[in-house]
Structure 1
């Protein structure tokens, strides 16, 4: 496709590091010459992608708060059934259509407007979430939305083929043909649009069909697929499909576009007291959902950073009711945590997390995968997960238990989960998970007790 003349290539050298606060004026002029403050920024609703949940936006919510935005002016949606249908027009259990997602998004927009009294809100979406955003705006919602930021959204499809026309990810299908119809601009007047994409590092914007199940077949899509005519289109260097929404570099562009000025800081500013809460969800028919799970128990422990051993008893213990909520837990912003989830019909999952520097009510807990034939006879199953990005080799420093994981493929970043299996003699020992500058120390729990370990990165 032809790129907009407003496409700008942003390489790594032009952007700040994750842990470095950007030095800028806290109050600056916007493009219209108006002096703004955090209260002048429209409320922001964050929209997750296919199979995901609101918690992926936690770090960007923290960065917005660290730049002075009030917590009640920020919101992240949990779509009830986040996974798409194989054919958008054919009902599938526990999956959603584009129409259902548009309706749920509209309800969330109305709630944020009601809560804040604002006439319009800004929307920030990753991947499939951008379809709901564009669908809502195009079908009468432009008056509600001041800004739309689309991060890694496959706006022209993951592929453009004649087969499987009902898939919403088919650029030749009716859904995307309608969204992108016409010879003029591909955005809706009255709303400002920004797209963010990687430079050949998005697995859903590839010319070869290997990530769509047809290696060697042209997809008809290039790395420019997420760009839109009429939008401001930015390329964020080697960031992958998820990082273009959740990385500190992405935050800078999201904030600048909505606020009209540089953020005062990129790094998250810690709070003196941290309160955590969230939702327990699970699988239904083999499909991830965001439907609440009742009767799940959640325990939280402070652990030693170098060994993963518990320090004292549980600092929080709760059993979920019909709403699936498990909070509120109070922790210190310097504590590494072990969160133990025991949900009906699922393995007991021991999550190991870096310290939470700020409060959050979107700490999503979904049990780790069920033990299968590959785990038969092993002592412990230890996994590490990167929800806000993929492990890219050789781009990233990645190690699990002192080794580069064999189940992470090199090249275009595609994998967000790695697994190591330990013999029975090694149950209980510490296992180090490393991704770039984030280091987690987990403990190996016995698989024979239907327990799994999941080291979950924040960055």
Structure 2
């Protein structure tokens, strides 16, 4: 299926050589990049990727991440579903954003970089929306290009069905060689060797353990594209890992990046949007669905915290009642200082979000107000440890939550990006979490006061 396959292994020595041998492109040669998030995600998912581009000299004003208002795909693409988007709506939103960016920058073309479902919109736009003229490079990380499943007669109306009309049309041969992509756009896919939950031969992650999906580990690869394989990365790390950035930078520029990290750069000015959750219109009892709509009237207070105890170090260092745009900043943070973000909004629990220190400025620090699930209301405290830009892999990662293994994380495979602890003890105390060296310590605020706690990883 692949035309060219690479296994990338990043080592300190290779990065040193890259730093010595190459310089980043400069000035007008740097096209605008539009980042397209995946199913249920938001623009904030690209925070660390944007940092890495900036650290290698890409101008911040040429890095754009879209926020699809309703980021979840429909169950059946051809049937309207409140709070969800069709492939046509998704593509139209991307098309409008590309046109906005081209007008704002004066550029003739953009680079499109998508994760998961974002790659579906990119392919649809290039094939059916005029993107073959406005896009120079397309990078698809973990996009299920041949479906999450490919089972005749099974949910074929869904956009993730490999035998359904949407993917069948996108994958139709474009030339005599049978290529699934066509020029003049330059294409690259990035996939895991075997650790992507949505490119598995067994149906475990779609709730059908033991049933063949008819999709292989190579599902995200496309004939005619430059197909890159990264060992052991998970579904999201196909886009958000240092190795994925390295591959993307090389593909766009033809050079090695100087760094794949995000070096500290002061001052650190933060901003972002406060969003909420929609109740399912068809079944309110089923809980919440993600959206990226602003939450006007929400109140935010930001506190510097002690890294060892999570306790606040004095009064709030920033506060705001957000307006119609949902923006909660700007806030000038101190490098090396962890923070607690406290959101209060009618209809939501008071949400305490603890974050490790921010090394650089970002306008993508989006914050979501949460609700307490009915099943959790018997607890004294609810704490969720979450990794937005990747999954937890018990065989690969060094991690702990309140000094123990992460609950709900399977012994093998990377398929879970959050873990929740329901504490049945009274009182407020420190609760630490660690993932591959990144440490966060929060406090156990009481459910009885309608409060929830989130420990959110950056990397």
Q: Distance in 2 between matches of 1:46 and 1:94?
A: 22
Q: Distance in 2 between matches of 1:63 and 1:341?
A: 29
Q: Which residue of 1 aligns with 2:149?
A: 159
Q: Distance in 2 between matches of 1:410 and 1:440?
A: 23
CA contact (8 A) 1:154 1:204 kept: yes
Q: Secondary structure at the match of 1:412?
A: coil
Q: Distance in 1 between matches of 2:78 and 2:239?
A: 28
After TM superposition, give the deviation of residue 158 of structure 1 in Å.
Answer: 0.2
Q: Which residue of 2 aligns with 1:328?
A: 330
Please give the TM-score of this superposition, normalised by the length of structure 2: 0.94
Q: Which residue of 2 aligns with 1:441?
A: 441
Aligned length: 445
2:5 aligned with 1:7:
yes
Report Cα offsets for 1:155-180 as digits up to 9, x if no partner: 00000112211100000000000000
Report Cα offsets for 1:416-444 as digits up to 9, x if no partner: 1111122343x321111111111111111
Report Cα offsets for 1:311-332 as digits up to 9, x if no partner: 1211110111121111111111
After TM superposition, give the deviation of residue 346 of structure 1 in Å.
Answer: 1.3
Q: Distance in 1 between matches of 2:243 and 2:11?
A: 7
Report Cα offsets for 1:227-263 as digits up to 9, x if no partner: 0001000110000000111011111111111111001
Report Cα offsets for 1:186-225 as digits up to 9, x if no partner: 1121111111111110000000112122221111100000
After TM superposition, give the deviation of residue 9 of structure 1 in Å.
Answer: 2.5
Aligned with residue 207 of structure 2, among 194, 213, 219: 213
Q: Which residue of 2 aligns with 1:122?
A: 111
Unmatched segments (≥5 aa) in structure 1: 30-34
CA contact (8 A) 2:277 2:370 kept: no
Q: Secondary structure at the match of 2:353?
A: strand
1:78-227 equivalent positions in 2, closer than 5 A: 78-139=67-128, 140-162=130-152, 163-182=154-173, 184-227=178-221
Q: Which residue of 1 aligns with 2:452?
A: 452
Q: Secondary structure at the match of 1:45?
A: strand
After TM superposition, give the deviation of residue 357 of structure 1 in Å.
Answer: 0.9
Report Cα offsets for 1:50-97 as digits up to 9, x if no partner: 000000100010010001111100010000100000000000001000
Q: Secondary structure at the match of 2:294?
A: coil
Higher mean C-alpha deviation, range 416-425 or range 289-298: 416-425
Q: Which residue of 2 aligns with 1:348?
A: 350
Q: Distance in 2 between matches of 1:4 and 1:184?
A: 12
Q: Distance in 2 between matches of 1:407 and 1:267?
A: 30
After TM superposition, give the deviation of residue 374 of structure 1 in Å.
Answer: 3.7
Report Cα offsets for 1:363-393 as digits up to 9, x if no partner: 11112352322440x2211110000000011
After TM superposition, give the deviation of residue 23 of structure 1 in Å.
Answer: 4.4
Q: Distance in 2 between matches of 1:216 and 1:8?
A: 30
Q: Distance in 2 between matches of 1:397 and 1:25?
A: 29
Q: Distance in 2 between matches of 1:343 and 1:365?
A: 12
Pair 95,42 (structure 1): closer, same or farther in 2 beyond 3 Å? same
CA contact (8 A) 1:22 1:263 kept: no
Q: Secondary structure at the match of 1:136?
A: helix
2:313 aligned with 1:311:
yes
CA contact (8 A) 2:22 2:257 kept: no
CA contact (8 A) 1:51 1:82 kept: yes
Q: Which residue of 2 aligns with 1:359?
A: 361
CA contact (8 A) 1:137 1:188 kept: no
Q: Distance in 2 between matches of 1:230 and 1:293?
A: 43
Q: Which residue of 2 aligns with 1:389?
A: 390
Report Cα offsets for 1:389-432 as digits up to 9, x if no partner: 0001111112110000231112121111111122343x321111
Q: Distance in 2 between matches of 1:299 and 1:354?
A: 16
Q: Secondary structure at the match of 2:172?
A: coil
Q: Distance in 1 between matches of 2:324 and 2:403?
A: 41
Higher mean C-alpha deviation, range 432-441 or range 39-48: 39-48
After TM superposition, give the deviation of residue 299 of structure 1 in Å.
Answer: 0.9
